[in-house]
């Protein structure tokens, strides 16, 4: 049975590094419906940046392609799928190891998956050589309640 989502978005753009900022802003605008904190939004934007950058630098290397983002909102959770039709990842487990990189000459230090894992609640990587890679990640946004002064505060479990 397919999940029932409260809202959904689909976005496609050319694999140019200048579109990374566009992806961050588009996803942030979509997630804003859940009223995240600044920190939660920053975490999501950072994870999106890492995923999109991986598509551009590793998936397509020196050729142009399409990066796709599909986002879902379900209750207080955002689920993001970021994919490419690039070259794929030979060994996902090795690629997810901190500091592993196939591009040691670039400024990046092989921390993309580690950053995504630390900023999001879940991370799944599916990849097929020659067909591309799909990253699915999710984050629950902490609900807020209104106090007696009309201010909102986070609900925390003690």
Which of 108, 117, 124, 126 is catalytic? The answer is 108
Q: For the purposes of burial, counting CB atoms within 10 Å of the CB of 65, is it exposed (0-12), middle (13-18) or buried (19 or more)?
A: middle
Catalytic site includes residue 24: no
Q: Among 24, 54, 81, 85, which one carries the catalytic annotation?
A: 54
| Catalytic residue of the set 20, 40, 50, 81 | 50
Distance CA 12, CA 31 (A): 17
Q: Does the annotation mark 50 as catalytic? A: yes
54 is catalytic: yes
Are 155 and 142 in contact, with CB atoms under 8 Å apart? yes
Active site residues: 50, 54, 108
């Amino acid at each position: 049975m397919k999940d029932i989502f409260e809202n959904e978005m689909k976005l496609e753009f050319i694999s140019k590094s200048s579109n990374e900022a566009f992806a961050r802003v588009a996803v942030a605008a979509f997630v804003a419906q859940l009223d995240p904190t600044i920190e939660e939004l920053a975490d999501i934007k950072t994870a999106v940046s890492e995923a999109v950058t991986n598509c551009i630098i590793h998936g397509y290397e020196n050729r142009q392609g399409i990066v796709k983002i599909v986002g879902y909102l379900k209750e207080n959770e955002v689920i993001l799928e970021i994919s490419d039709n690039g070259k794929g990842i030979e060994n996902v487990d090795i690629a997810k190891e901190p500091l592993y990189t196939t591009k040691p000459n670039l400024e990046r230090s092989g921390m993309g998956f580690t950053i995504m894992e630390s900023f999001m609640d879940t991370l799944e990587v599916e990849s097929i050589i020659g067909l591309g890679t799909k990253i699915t990640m999710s984050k629950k946004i902490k609900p807020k309640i209104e106090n007696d002064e009309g201010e909102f505060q986070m609900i925390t479990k003690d």
